[in-house]
Amino acid sequence: MDLKERFEIWRDVYALQIDFLRELGNYKLNAAKSDLVAAVASNQLAVARMKALIAQELQGALRRLHQMEGRTATKVKRLTTMARNAAYIQNGDDMTRSRMQLMWAAYKVFERMVPLEQLETTMRIDLHPGARKGTQYINKAAPSEHCHDIPAHVDNAHMLVGYIKRRHYLPLRGTLAHRHVLKVFEAIAHVASAQLNKMQAAIKQMRANTYQVWNPLIIAGLPDTMDVKKIIYNGMKEL
């Protein structure tokens, strides 16, 4: 699977979001209804009122999920294009300045999807001394100018990507610097497959009635809406 195809899995993650939320909402709704019946039967009126409110909120949130479908479809189309743009990094310096700008814009979107704890793996990739040399890069904003050596405070691959992005540098194709930058892009793309697998596994568990409601998942990139919060409420667990 090439880099473009790995980034395209983020598109699949977004495409599955509505199904995941619908399955989770219905799973919690059924649990709330079951708890409500049990609370009424045991004359626990306060608990019954709470469960009735939860059920009411979940029913409303589930009815409104269709409003997200159009926005999600648009996002999925954009991510397909962004996956292609992000994969331009495989070319190293062999791209136009306009294509470089598209590549960095796509990188920024995908980077923001990744939970910080998983992004930290790229912050633990130390820089090889050779990757610090200015001769490993080209300045796309001013191709005739020499690139500066990477300063000492840039001490890992993730920081390197941020530094060259701001400087409009690109690593020469096939260099140590290029390999470092590729590792960061590959790590971000890899997170998507892990997210997709865990969403699919969670849906399977819900359908088998074995999903642990008290220990839910955090799905990267979910819309920050009140309805989504109602569905995933009751504690969080990172993928």
How many domains does the structure of the chain reveal? 1
Cα(130)–Cα(136) distance, rounded to whole angstroms? 8
Domain boundaries, position 217: 3-232
Cα(48)–Cα(201) distance, rounded to whole angstroms? 31
Would residue 238 count as lying in a domain? no
Would residue 224 count as lying in a domain? yes
**Burial per residue of 106-139, b for 16 or more beta-carbon CB atoms within 10 angstroms, e otherwise:** bbebbbebbeeebbebbeebebeeebbbeebbbb
| Least confident window among 63-67, 186-190, 197-201 | 63-67
Average pLDDT, the chain: 89
Q: For helices 176-207 and 97-113, what crossing angle results, to 10°?
A: 40
Residue 236 has pLDDT above 70, yes or no: no
Would residue 237 count as lying in a domain? no
Would residue 139 count as lying in a domain? yes
**pLDDT tens digits for range 123-169:** 999 999 999 999 999 999 999 999 999 999 999 999 999 999 999 99
Would residue 172 count as lying in a domain? yes
Would residue 149 count as lying in a domain? yes
Give residue 24's Cα distance to chain centre. Answer: 19
Would residue 143 count as lying in a domain? yes
Element (H, E) at 45: helix 45-63
**pLDDT value at position 216?**
60
